[in-house]
Amino acid sequence: MYIRTATMQDLEQIAQIEQECFPAAEAADRHAFENRIYHFSDSFFVLEKDGVLCGFINGSVTDRTTIADEMYENAALHDPNGAYQAVFGLDVLPQYQKQGLAKALMEHLIAQSKLRGRKGVILTCKETLIPFYEQFGFVCKGISDSTHGNAVWYDMQLKF
């Protein structure tokens, strides 16, 4: 298993993985990922296993303590000096799930966030994933204002 910074050469694979992992209403498109790699590649990581790019984690940096929907679409809202690392997506191809890869990606992002002096990490998730994020120390802050993809999301926050 190898985790590294995403590059534009990974773009097509990243977009394909997203389509497999999220419903169409929630999935980011190729253009969104291109903007994310361009604006905040230092917080966009991919995971390779046996030479296959099988997962990734990404998100901008902000001073906000929760994620707003416009952050998903406007990568220029990234503030490299912000206090919080946001997580927009944590994707692992279905055939590679249940092998600890999502955990490894999250641990890597948390470690990088600490090294960069962030105050914490923020994300939104569906109710079924709250326990997954709690294992890293995230605290559920309740139902999010986010209406991304017409789903119910929960604000999660990890403070260092």
Instruction: Quick: pLDDT tens for 8-29.
Output: 999 999 999 999 999 999 999 9
Band (pLDDT 50/70/90 cuts) for residue 6 is very high
What is the Cα–Cα distance from 74 to 39, expressed in whole angstroms?
Answer: 10
Residue 118 and residue 160 in contact, taking contact as beta carbons nearer than 8 Å = yes
Q: Give the model confidence (pLDDT) of 54-95 as tens digits.
A: 999 999 999 999 999 999 889 889 999 999 999 999 999 999
Q: What is the pTM (predicted TM-score) of this model?
A: 0.95
Provide DSSP, 69-122: HHHHH-GGG--TT-SEEEE-EEEE-GGGTTSSHHHHHHHHHHHHHHHTT-SEEE
Q: What residue spans of 6-73 are helical by DSSP H?
A: 11-21, 30-40, 69-73
The pLDDT value recorded for residue 1 is: 94
- The fold for domain 2-159 equals Aminopeptidase (3.40.630)
What is the Cα–Cα distance from 27 to 89, expressed in whole angstroms?
Answer: 9
Q: What's the rounded mean pLDDT across residues 119-124?
A: 98
The pLDDT value recorded for residue 75 is: 86
The pLDDT value recorded for residue 78 is: 93
What is the Cα–Cα distance from 31 to 118, expressed in whole angstroms?
Answer: 27
